[in-house]
Amino acid sequence: MGHTQHLTITRVWSIPTPGQNEKVHGKHPTQKPIKLLERIIAASTNPLDLILDPFMGSGTTGVASIRNKRRFIGIEINENFYNIANERNLIAYQDQVDSLFI
């Protein structure tokens, strides 16, 4: 037999914590990286699916949903976190709309 190449296949996702650019609208103590949510959404949903995050915090699931053309409903009990999420989600929507006209 010829040369055998060994590949290491891992189930560990290595994604850094959110950078300052993901916190410009305010901080949440357990904010997740957008890249992590985008990966979960791509792996488990289809375009136009409706995603519900009943504990949305600063709205990362919403941003990842909108960027990947999923519909999104978020619920958040804390008004400050809700306002951060709302602002981030509105900007994500606006970016999607803008991309249609470039």
- Binding positions for ligand SAM, rule: CB under 6 A: 28, 30-32, 55, 57-58, 60, 75-78, 81
Q: How far is the CB of 36 from ligand SAM (least distance, A)?
A: 9
- Residue of minimal CB distance from ligand SAM? 57
**Residue burial 24-56, b: 16+ Cβ < 10 Å; e: rest:** ebeebeebbbbebbbeebeeeeeeeeebebeeb
Distance of CA 31 to the CA centre of its chain: 10
Please state the closest distance from residue 61 (CB atom) to ligand SAM, in A.
Answer: 6
In the complex, the smallest distance separating the C-beta of residue 77 from ligand SAM, rounded to whole angstroms, is 4
Question: Distance from first CA to last CA of the chain, Å, rounded?
Answer: 54
For ligand SAM, which is the closer residue by CB, 46 or 78? 78
